Chain A
Amino acid sequence: MAHGGEHVLKVGNEGREVFWNAPYEGILFFFTAIALVIFAYGIYRRWQMWKAIGLPENRTDNAGERFKALIMNGLFQVKTFREAYPGIFHGLIFFGFLVLIFGAAIDATQFHIGLPFFHGGFYLWFSLIMEIFGLAVLIGIVMAIMRRYIFKPDFLGYKGVPDNRPDDAIVLVGIGAIIVTGFIIEALRLHVNINVDGFTWGDWSFVGYALSKTLAGVSYDTTRILHKITWWVHSFITLGLIAYLPFSRLLHIFTTPANYYMKNLEPTGTLKPIADFENAESFGAGQLEDFTWKQIFDSEACTRCGRCQDGCPAYISGKPLSPKKVIQDIKTYWLERAPSVLAAGKKTKEGEEAAIPEPDKAMVGEVIDLHELWACTNCMYCMEHCPALIEHVPKIVQMRQYKVLMEADFSPELQLTYRNMENNSNPWGIGAHMRGDWAKDLGIKTLAEDPDVEYLFYVGCSGSFDDRGKKVSVAFAKILKEAGVSFGILGEEEGCCGDSAMRGGNEYLYQTLAQMNIETMNGYGVKKVVCTCPHGYNALKKDYRHFGGNFEVFHHTEILADLIAKGKIKLTKPVEGLFTYHDSCFLGRYNDIYNQPRQVLGAVPGMRMVEMKSNRAKSFCCGAGGARMWMEEDIGERINDMRTDQAIDVKADTIAVGCPFCLTMMSDGIKDREKEENMKAFDIAEIVWQSMAVEKETDAGTPPE
């Protein structure tokens, strides 16, 4: 009998006998022990596998910040709630179960040692809370089942083919069954209790009580038998799920929070530089063994929720790439490979000679298709929205590094681009001596002529060589002069920032370029830098510090917002038309610059603004990031055309951008869609210069030829 003592049911002593009608606790403990052993074995086995493959990496420093990430995303579900529907159902299940587990613990305590307060008002409120959260879990499960099996969103599958595995169904039905049987048990118990004199508190267990009313006429003995059966079914499903957990998607209950704790604390998008070219034997990731353990562990935190895929410009435009698929393919390969590596390790420990088996396939090329690998624009949508903080982009870049640095096997267009960057320090291969030509007639001094300036205007390749980009440089330089900002350029001494080389896997070229720039800048004692190109901005700000380049770096929209706020420049001339702002990935998701460009545009008199369907953190890439600017786009639809369509959809007549790559891509999109007559793309600096009305007829402000 219950240790908690016989409970006397009467008014004023509301409560119940925990584990009423469910004897044979010995049997229950026996099966609980079995379930826990299986659970522990599963976790242990997994733990061994996590340790089996991967290079070392420290992800446990700075415990405070890590703990914060764990609490915010684990306990408060911040990332998960970013999407309404899955956020809500996951929240219902998560918080529901959290409370139910706590409740079960109270039940168990009452059963074993007795709780003096487990009756009366406390009991009634306890019942009500359990009831609400049990119902919450059930609603959550129903929502999840409806989404997966009725609504069938594409992001749960791949290219229109659903990816529903038996595991998904087992988990959903299993959890649902725990709750349903729980309510049935309650109903059966209440049905018996109703016969007790003075029973008045059924409404506190409103679900079970409502169910119990369907049992009218069922005899006491039948109820007892049904109760007993359901109770054991309930217990076995619960124990079954506990035993099954390490082998199922439920493992994410542990791995995803672990991933929160082990999050990357570096600034968004930072790529770890290759440290030693001279002595390293291999570069990039060609095999699983070339990843760190954490990079492989990422795939264990993945629940195939598909948020990454849902906004991936490559996927949406019909390329084979899906960030989810990449992570899952790595996981599948790891699950194939880890046991044999583990077995070899074990044998070696026992003194036998056992070589780690050679991989039977190439990770890059076979596990991950090369078209997937090269389709990524590094737009950071996947990483921004992954509720498990998985790092997709660095893995893709590392696999590209393997193809470029180790095998030198990559597209001819990109080879030409790299040669151009090697020989003339710009992707087009235009003579390096022409870099400063755009500024010839503007009276802008180079740092060689006058190093005593506040800002270095790092112009970048587009701003120096691309005809459209040069107009942006001119507009911005004129604004700076008009505002009296002290600045200079490097002219011929400037070099390519190397972003496209870095993200296209040519780390060697990138580091060569970066080091040359850093040497030049440090030689002039440069402290503050302003860039019109977000790619240079991001590289100089976050990546150059690895090689001794420590500058305070600004994007020109930040400077413009500041100049306007301080009244240093006056925007007087109204601009006509309906504008939409296209967020550059390297400004928005990489650097959280969403507001400044909008503030600048908002300050332009007469400005009418409209947002595209995808904006801010959900912005849709122009298609040029991650070295895609220099590659052919021959699979699926063109990403820039799809983005242009979004601007057309909101009837914008001007697409405002803050990035020369975006400017090119949007201008091309407008051409492709034959909208040149009534649509234009401008950099924000051009719009500002036009509105300053310093010149009657400006270069900036006239449509590109």
Chain B
Amino acid sequence: MNIVVCVKQVPDTEALIKVKADGSGIDEGGIKWVMNPYDEFGVEEALKLKEKNGGDVTIVSVGPARALETIRTALAMGAEKGIHINDPALEGADAYTTASALAAAIKEIPHDIVFCGMRAIDDDAGQVGSILAELLGIPQVTVVTKLEVADGKATAVKAIEGAQLVIETSLPCVITAAKGLNEPRYASLPGIMKAKKKPVDVKDAAALGISVAAKAKIVKMMPPPERAPGKIVGGEEAAEKAAQLVKLLREEAKVI
């Protein structure tokens, strides 16, 4: 069974995000880059399936030079090879362009299942997996929390409000991974060392024969407004505090 996992390098959830003065993007200085956590569920699930059924796991990522670290992280977890789509023209690419690049790369290699994270934690778009399935012309199940693969079929469980859907699909298919699918493994040290020597193909847009013309464009990025500090209402007695609170709500907050 040959499995492809699409991964994206994103800023660590705890990183301090500063928007560039011109609003064109974020300031990347001092940011710790990690693998998108939802993609990690995809990598883990792919490795589990491989361990059960044999085959290869290929990691595909669109991103600048630094994205190679993330591919290596997935290789350290146990994937066999990587494809790094690195083209300056793809920087800040929209979901459609990213999905086309991934699709072009995946079409060239055998794939029984393609995993994506349900969304990336940086732009929260959640579109790439679905567009990719359309471009590859294969079925998709999104936001999957449990997966079983047998007899050329995939049975996926997806949580919806108050219930669970069990969806069966033929292979090949695209699965987008949600939290709960598994607990991603910690890479072993021999895994980390071996990953350094595993093959990673670097491709650009021209090699993939794709158009880099974006269908959507980020016009401006703005930091959220700074939150004013909270206030502790003073006073000795409860009644006094209440009076103080009413006064503040009326005069300062002007909500009553």
Chain A residues near B (Cβ < 8 Å): 277-278, 281-283, 404-408, 410, 412, 415, 418-419, 423-424, 429-434, 508
CB neighbours of A508 from chain B (8 A): 189, 192
**Which of A406, A415, A418 is the one whose CB lies under 8 Å from B190?**
A406
Question: A272 vs B32: C-alpha distance in the bound complex, in angstroms?
Answer: 30
**Which of B15, B183, B189, B193 is the one whose CB lies under 8 Å from A412?**
B183
Question: A281 vs B189: C-alpha distance in the bound complex, in angstroms?
Answer: 10
Interface size class of B (residues with CB under 8 A): 10 to 19
Question: A551 vs B12: C-alpha distance in the bound complex, in angstroms?
Answer: 32
* Cβ–Cβ contact A431 & B15, under 8 A: yes
Question: A430 vs B15: C-alpha distance in the bound complex, in angstroms?
Answer: 9
* Cβ–Cβ contact B34 & A408, under 8 A: no
Interface check B161, CB cutoff 8 A = no
* Cβ–Cβ contact B16 & A405, under 8 A: no
Task: List 7 contacting pairs A-B, 8 Å CB cutoff, sorted by A.
Answer: A283-B189, A404-B186, A407-B188, A415-B186, A423-B14, A429-B14, A432-B14
Interface check B233, CB cutoff 8 A = no
CB neighbours of B183 from chain A (8 A): 412
* Cβ–Cβ contact A406 & B188, under 8 A: yes
* Cβ–Cβ contact A433 & B30, under 8 A: yes
* Cβ–Cβ contact B189 & A406, under 8 A: yes
CB neighbours of B187 from chain A (8 A): 408
Also in contact, A277 and B12, with CB within 8 A (given A405-B188, A408-B185): no
Interface check B126, CB cutoff 8 A = no
Interface centre among B15, B30, B183, B189 (most CB of A within 10 A): B189
For the complex of A and B, 3 pairs with smallest distance between CB atoms? A431-B14, A405-B189, A408-B188
In the complex, chain B residues 1-50 whose Cβ is within 8 Å of any chain A Cβ: 12, 14-16, 30, 32, 34
CB neighbours of B190 from chain A (8 A): 281-283, 405-406
Whole-angstrom distance between the Cβ of A493 and the nearest chain B Cβ: 11
Question: A666 vs B119: C-alpha distance in the bound complex, in angstroms?
Answer: 42
Whole-angstrom distance between the Cβ of B41 and the nearest chain A Cβ: 14
* Cβ–Cβ contact B186 & A278, under 8 A: no
A429-B14, A508-B189 are known; give 10 further A-B pairs, CB within 8 A.
A406-B188, A406-B189, A407-B188, A408-B188, A423-B12, A424-B14, A424-B32, A431-B12, A431-B14, A431-B15
Question: A680 vs B190: C-alpha distance in the bound complex, in angstroms?
Answer: 47
In the complex, chain B residues 161-198 whose Cβ is within 8 Å of any chain A Cβ: 183, 185-193
Query: Mask for B189-211, Cβ within 8 A of A = 1, else 0?
Result: 11111000000000000000000
Whole-angstrom distance between the Cβ of B20 and the nearest chain A Cβ: 17
Question: A154 vs B185: C-alpha distance in the bound complex, in angstroms?
Answer: 41
Whole-angstrom distance between the Cβ of B221 and the nearest chain A Cβ: 19
Question: A308 vs B186: C-alpha distance in the bound complex, in angstroms?
Answer: 33
* Cβ–Cβ contact A410 & B16, under 8 A: no
CB neighbours of A424 from chain B (8 A): 12, 14, 32
Whole-angstrom distance between the Cβ of A276 and the nearest chain B Cβ: 11
Question: A408 vs B16: C-alpha distance in the bound complex, in angstroms?
Answer: 30
Question: A405 vs B32: C-alpha distance in the bound complex, in angstroms?
Answer: 23
Chain B residues near A (Cβ < 8 Å): 12, 14-16, 30, 32, 34, 183, 185-193
CB neighbours of B32 from chain A (8 A): 423-424, 432
CB neighbours of A278 from chain B (8 A): 193
Whole-angstrom distance between the Cβ of B60 and the nearest chain A Cβ: 23
Also in contact, A423 and B193, with CB within 8 A (given A405-B188, A406-B188, A432-B14): no
CB neighbours of B185 from chain A (8 A): 408
* Cβ–Cβ contact A408 & B14, under 8 A: no
The chain A residue with its CB closest to the CB of B187 is A408
Question: A465 vs B70: C-alpha distance in the bound complex, in angstroms?
Answer: 27
Whole-angstrom distance between the Cβ of B192 and the nearest chain A Cβ: 7
* Cβ–Cβ contact A408 & B193, under 8 A: no
Whole-angstrom distance between the Cβ of B198 and the nearest chain A Cβ: 15
CB neighbours of A434 from chain B (8 A): 16
* Cβ–Cβ contact A433 & B188, under 8 A: no
CB neighbours of A429 from chain B (8 A): 14
* Cβ–Cβ contact A410 & B14, under 8 A: no
CB neighbours of B34 from chain A (8 A): 423
CB neighbours of B193 from chain A (8 A): 277-278
**Which of B30, B186, B189, B191 is the one whose CB lies under 8 Å from A410?**
B186
Question: A434 vs B192: C-alpha distance in the bound complex, in angstroms?
Answer: 29
Also in contact, A431 and B188, with CB within 8 A (given A277-B193, A412-B183, A423-B34): no
CB neighbours of B192 from chain A (8 A): 508
CB neighbours of A431 from chain B (8 A): 12, 14-16
CB neighbours of A415 from chain B (8 A): 186
The chain A residue with its CB closest to the CB of B183 is A412
Question: A478 vs B12: C-alpha distance in the bound complex, in angstroms?
Answer: 33
The chain B residue with its CB closest to the CB of A407 is B188
Question: A435 vs B16: C-alpha distance in the bound complex, in angstroms?
Answer: 12
Question: A619 vs B226: C-alpha distance in the bound complex, in angstroms?
Answer: 49
CB neighbours of A432 from chain B (8 A): 14, 32
CB neighbours of A410 from chain B (8 A): 186
* Cβ–Cβ contact A433 & B186, under 8 A: no
Question: A277 vs B189: C-alpha distance in the bound complex, in angstroms?
Answer: 8
Question: A282 vs B190: C-alpha distance in the bound complex, in angstroms?
Answer: 8
CB neighbours of B186 from chain A (8 A): 404, 408, 410, 415, 418-419
CB neighbours of B16 from chain A (8 A): 431, 433-434
Question: A219 vs B183: C-alpha distance in the bound complex, in angstroms?
Answer: 88
Question: A404 vs B185: C-alpha distance in the bound complex, in angstroms?
Answer: 11
Question: A410 vs B187: C-alpha distance in the bound complex, in angstroms?
Answer: 11
CB neighbours of A407 from chain B (8 A): 188
Question: A278 vs B183: C-alpha distance in the bound complex, in angstroms?
Answer: 28
Question: A405 vs B186: C-alpha distance in the bound complex, in angstroms?
Answer: 9
Question: A431 vs B32: C-alpha distance in the bound complex, in angstroms?
Answer: 9
Also in contact, A430 and B14, with CB within 8 A (given A277-B193, A412-B183, A423-B34): yes
Question: A415 vs B188: C-alpha distance in the bound complex, in angstroms?
Answer: 11
Question: A406 vs B191: C-alpha distance in the bound complex, in angstroms?
Answer: 8
Question: A186 vs B63: C-alpha distance in the bound complex, in angstroms?
Answer: 94
CB neighbours of A406 from chain B (8 A): 188-190
CB neighbours of B15 from chain A (8 A): 431, 433
Question: A418 vs B185: C-alpha distance in the bound complex, in angstroms?
Answer: 12
The chain B residue with its CB closest to the CB of A418 is B186
CB neighbours of B188 from chain A (8 A): 405-408
CB neighbours of A277 from chain B (8 A): 189, 193
Whole-angstrom distance between the Cβ of A362 and the nearest chain B Cβ: 16
CB neighbours of A405 from chain B (8 A): 188-190
The chain A residue with its CB closest to the CB of B33 is A423
Question: A407 vs B189: C-alpha distance in the bound complex, in angstroms?
Answer: 8
The chain B residue with its CB closest to the CB of A431 is B14
CB neighbours of B30 from chain A (8 A): 433
Whole-angstrom distance between the Cβ of A515 and the nearest chain B Cβ: 16
The chain A residue with its CB closest to the CB of B190 is A406
Interface centre among B12, B34, B191 (most CB of A within 10 A): B12
Question: A408 vs B191: C-alpha distance in the bound complex, in angstroms?
Answer: 10
CB neighbours of A282 from chain B (8 A): 190
CB neighbours of B12 from chain A (8 A): 423-424, 431
Question: A392 vs B30: C-alpha distance in the bound complex, in angstroms?
Answer: 41
Question: A283 vs B34: C-alpha distance in the bound complex, in angstroms?
Answer: 26
Question: A370 vs B166: C-alpha distance in the bound complex, in angstroms?
Answer: 37
Question: A407 vs B32: C-alpha distance in the bound complex, in angstroms?
Answer: 26
Question: A406 vs B188: C-alpha distance in the bound complex, in angstroms?
Answer: 5
Question: A281 vs B185: C-alpha distance in the bound complex, in angstroms?
Answer: 21
CB neighbours of B189 from chain A (8 A): 277, 283, 405-406, 508
The chain A residue with its CB closest to the CB of B196 is A278
CB neighbours of A408 from chain B (8 A): 185-188, 191
Interface centre among B32, B183, B186, B193 (most CB of A within 10 A): B186
